Structure formats: C-alpha cells, structure tokens
A = this chain, B = another copy of it.
Amino acid sequence: MKISNTVEWAIHCCTLLAGLPKGVNLSAKDLAEYHGVPHPYLAKALQTLSNDGIVKTISGPKGGYQLAKEPNNVSLLDIVLSIEGSDSCFECEEIRQQGPTALKRSASYKRPCLIAAAMWKAENVWRSELDKTKLSHLIEQVIIEADPRQMKKSQDWIEKRTP
C-alpha cells in the first residue's frame, strides 16, 4: 500500500511540461537534472507516460517530451494509473471458496461479496477524487503561490535549454 515515488517524479515532470509554451520540449536528461533524480530511471517513467499517451515524444537531437494533451485534460489519476498500473489495489483470492466448509460450485459465489465490494468502492472514491485535480489547476496555483524568485530562476533555466 505504498505509491512508488516515481509517481511523484512523473507528476512533477508533467506539471513542468504543462507549463511550457506550445511546441517547446524538454529532454529526459533535462527533466532529470531539473528535479535532481537519476536520469536512466526517470527515462523509464517517461516512456511509460509516452506509451499511455500522456506525453508526446520528439526524437533526434533537440528532441524530448511535450505534454500530449491539454493540461485541463490530464489528471493526477491519469498519471498515477499510468505509472502504477491500473489494477485494483485489492485483489480478491476468493478464499471463501477454499477450506473445509466451502461448497463446490455454489451459485452464492457468483455475487461478489461485501468485503470485496467495500474495498472496491473505497478505491473508486479515491480514484475519482484524484481525477478531480487536473494539471491546469496545478499550474494556475503554482503561478499564484510560488516565490517570484524561484519562477524567474526556473524560467531562465528552461530558456537555456530551449530555442
């Protein structure tokens, strides 16, 4: 029940990409350096995001990544499910059908039990809560809340690596 911290990296990368001007891209190496994380491993996460259509890739020199959709169309849930996989966090092993008191082929096993139903319901409310937060919402708030010096530093840094 722990979320990999590559999810955190992926969210930060997507947020940064979402704030870039149209047509501008950043390479995996730049993104890794910007966030201070290991490049080859971050690259894997970016590839996953690419496979799931969240980011778009530009190959060749001066290539890199852009956001593939509009920022208001990418939610935290999209990123989490892409990196972590979209399987349910609760996998039921149907242990009610094991053990000495179980019946064989009883119709009552067709219905999913309450335990599994409750676990899945909880996961659904978690997911829909995450889906409410879009990248567009995040960058708006960053602009409002961030320290202006940091914004400047960040913009200068980005300008140095983009045409």
* Chain A residues at the B interface, C-beta cutoff of 8 Å: 1-5, 7-9, 11-12, 15, 33-37, 76, 80, 84-85, 87, 89-93, 95-96, 98-103, 106-108, 111, 114-115, 118-119, 121-123, 125-127, 129-130, 132-133, 137-138, 141-142, 145-147, 149-150, 153-154, 157
B89 and A150 contacting across the interface, CB-CB below 8 Å: no
B5 and A91 contacting across the interface, CB-CB below 8 Å: yes
Output the least CB separation between A152 and chain B (Å). Answer: 9
A119 and B5 contacting across the interface, CB-CB below 8 Å: no
The 7 closest A-B pairs by CB, nearest first: A36-B98, A126-B126, A122-B129, A36-B99, A108-B147, A118-B133, A101-B154
- New A-B contacts (12) at CB < 8 Å, excluding given A1-B3, A103-B149: A1-B80, A1-B84, A1-B89, A2-B89, A5-B91, A34-B99, A101-B157, A102-B150, A108-B150, A111-B145, A114-B138, A122-B129
Q: How far is the CA of A158 from the CA of B132 in the complex (A)?
A: 48
Output the least CB separation between A65 and chain B (Å). Answer: 17
| 29 A-B pairs (CB sep. < 8 Å) | A1-B2, A1-B80, A1-B84, A1-B85, A1-B89, A3-B89, A5-B93, A7-B90, A8-B92, A12-B96, A33-B99, A36-B95, A36-B98, A36-B100, A37-B95, A76-B118, A106-B147, A106-B149, A107-B147, A108-B146, A108-B150, A115-B138, A118-B132, A118-B133, A119-B130, A121-B129, A122-B129, A125-B125, A126-B126
